[in-house]
Chains A and B, each alone.
Chain A
Amino acid sequence: MSDNSSNWTGWLGEHGPSLLLFARTQARCEADAEDLLQEAVVESAGKNEGNPPDLPLVYATIRRRAIDLARKTDRRIAREEAAAEESITCWFDDTIKQKETARLIDRAIKQMPEKFREVVILKIWSDLTFAQIAEALDIPLNTAASRYRYGLEILKRNANLTSHE
């Protein structure tokens, strides 16, 4: 039990921030993102006999549960959107020396269309392959790659990032 617990703590310490980042892109608020993450991890672990599961499965489960949640709360959407405020939670570690860059990227990421944002996040911060991203998001591999390319361009433009090509 304690071994299992320490396994989980280590696994969550390594992958938790990336999973939470993705959950935040899928949820309407911070509380929903945390709930989505917990439910997805527990469900995925159940399919893996209680052991830490494969990451693409967890991402796919977060996404599926987010869709379910959005459908359940459809009737509240209008009210929520009217009252929606831009998330003040910074999705990135802004306690480090690159504080300004983190804030800049945070804003740029939040402004991106979701279909590009989720691919960029899975590729950059979750380090998934395009094949894994395609599996997690249930899209063709080529679509994942092209969304990533467009997303990167949008992010570069919005965050004023300069490439040295």
Chain B
Amino acid sequence: MNNEPEFDPTIESELRQIKPAKMDAVLLERISHASTNSSPVHQTSSWRSNRWLWLIPFTATAAIVLALTLSPNKTNEPINLSGTIAANPTDKSSEEESIELFPIRKNNQVVDAVNEGIIQIDGRRPYRSVRMQVIDSYEWAQPNGATRVQYQVPREERFLVPVDIY
């Protein structure tokens, strides 16, 4: 019972004597179980962390390729079909020659757009949350075509589209 003023104490008192119907035992058990065992925060964080796992191989590959390609110690040797590079790699590592790469292609591919429903932020107007999953592809190459680097960076953007509720 709160301490707010009552508009019609008699009616209000009479109405309060009527209790809402009790919850079905099955429903009570269902909600109790769901509340105890599946905290959405954990679900969400777990889901989010799993969702970002797919970034790891892409970014790792991109980082390794870039590091190997753009490193000042990296040798720039002609392609040797006879396989002597593999046979004597340490001799070649001392050679210092920079590689000049130029961007030749960039592409953005929308992989998926997930409608996450309507959300409300701090009591402001409602927004429809849309999560866009995009893969940015980049390609760099030497002018002579001897070296070519491709890498892909997946990213997500969340757009909040204002909606009106009637």
Contacts and interface: CB of A to CB of B under 8 A. Distances in A.
B8 interface: yes
A98 B118 CA distance: 41
A73 B165 CA distance: 15
Interface string B1-20: 11010011011101111111
Contacts of B34: 38, 41-42
Interface stretch (B23-31, B55-63, B64-72): B23-31
Size range of the chain A interface in the assembly: 35 or more
A49 B41 contact: yes
A156 B13 CA distance: 12
Instruction: Tell me what chain A mostly uses at the interface: helix, strand, loop, or mixed.
Output: helix
B79 interface: no
A125 B20 contact: yes
Nearest to B39: A50
Among A37, A50, A93, max chain B CB count under 10 A is at A50
Contacts of B20: 17-18, 20-21, 91-93, 125
Interface in A29-53: 34, 37-38, 41-43, 45-47, 49-50, 52
B81 interface: no
B36 to A, nearest CB: 5
A4 interface: yes
B21 A92 contact: yes
Interface of A: 1, 4-5, 8-9, 12-13, 16-18, 20-21, 34, 37-38, 41-43, 45-47, 49-50, 52, 64, 67-68, 71, 89-94, 96, 98, 101-102, 105, 124-125, 127-130, 135, 138, 148-149, 152, 155-156, 161-165
Given A46-B40, A93-B20, A124-B15, 19 more contacts: A5-B32, A8-B32, A13-B28, A20-B20, A20-B21, A21-B21, A38-B27, A41-B31, A41-B34, A64-B118, A68-B117, A71-B118, A102-B18, A127-B1, A129-B4, A152-B11, A152-B12, A156-B11, A163-B11
